[in-house]
Amino acid sequence: MAILGIDEVGRGPWAGPLVVGACLLPEPIEGLNDSKKLSAKKREALAEIIREKAIFGLGWIPAAELDELGLTEALCKAARDAVSQISGEFDEVIIDGTMNFLRGTKYENIAQFLPKADQLVPEVSAASIIAKVSRDHYMYELADKFPGYGFEKHVGYGTAAHKAAIEKLGLCPEHRRSFRPIAELAKREKPKKVRKTKAKQSADAGARAEAIVAEALRRKKHTIIARNWKTKFYEIDIVSSYEGVVYFTEVKYCRNTTNSSGVDRVNNKKLEQMRFAAEAYIASSSVKCEVRLAVAEVSGDNFRITAFQVLQ
């Protein structure tokens, strides 16, 4: 009987995304346990093995969307997104905790929740580990994007240092406005319209798509060097390296691909901008290496990667 394990990471932090992992294990992996009971070094090592040997999916809910949906609906949506990425067959779903995230779906009748399943069921342990490591990497990248908050240390959780940073710097876009004490601090900010603009919705979707592509590149053994690297004229979504080649990847999110794809939207002008940005990055890093320009397309409400093309 094949079991699909599901676990969430990031339910309680003040900042950053909620991530739900879903995992199948075609073969046993030694050393699996609740991610919280493993050292960071051990988690990283196991995550690499899981990427190689397991079938897994990750559902991401950015902070702003979490505020909008509420925690319960966000957990369910992230779980559905994660399960939709699973290509293998399974007969049973075990979810860590006390709630069936898959209620109302075709998996509801084969899903059961089990407290401490991340310590008892290897598939759930693996889901816990891959979700934790993926979210931590995202938070490490946020530390560069929003310096001073200490995201690389507390990964968004509520600590005295995090609270002190907020009091000094104010809130950043990755803070969850619906969570205490963030909600109290948000009251002191200048009131903003509650209704989310189309631009904000687009930005949230873009950030989520970039996170999914970055994780997919890690699965393929890329090392993520930078996210949203900017020049005066252009921004590269993801800079990664693999076997001595540096890849500059533009991420395009399309709600649907009926009319045109994200790949089609990289025209000659944008390609030239990407080339200039890549040259600027290589010049600033003083490293001589082979360069590839690429575009990744993420589509639909489930945020599936529907294309990845090396342009030149």
Domain spanning 198-310, CATH class: alpha beta
Cis before 26? omega within 30 = no
Residue 219 has a pLDDT of 82
Residue 225 has a pLDDT of 83
Residues of the chain with CATH 3.40.1350.10: 198-310
Please check whether residue 254 is in contact with residue 297, taking contact to mean a CB–CB distance below 8 angstroms: yes
| C-alpha–C-alpha distance, residues 237 and 292, integer Å | 14
- CA distances (Å), origin 64, targets 35, 69, 175, 243: 25, 9, 8, 36
Short-list 98, 16, 102, CA closest to 57: 102
| C-alpha–C-alpha distance, residues 23 and 180, integer Å | 32
Specify the pTM. Answer: 0.71
Residue 284 has a pLDDT of 72
| Triad 223, 310, 237: Cα angle to 5° | 55
Short-list 270, 204, 213, CA closest to 247: 213
Q: How many CB atoms lie within 10 A of CB 290?
A: 10
| pLDDT, tens only, 244-285 | 888 999 998 887 655 555 566 677 778 888 888 888 877 776
Residues of the chain with pLDDT under 70: 189-202, 231-233, 256-265, 285-288
Residue 69 has a pLDDT of 92
| Triad 27, 29, 30: Cα angle to 5° | 145
Tokens of 56: 């897994």
Residue 232 has a pLDDT of 64
| C-alpha–C-alpha distance, residues 89 and 247, integer Å | 34
| C-alpha–C-alpha distance, residues 257 and 297, integer Å | 10
Domain spanning 3-141, CATH class: alpha beta
Q: What are phi and psi of 47, to 5 degrees?
A: -60, -40
Residues of the chain with CATH 3.30.420.10: 3-141
Short-list 53, 48, 20, CA closest to 222: 48
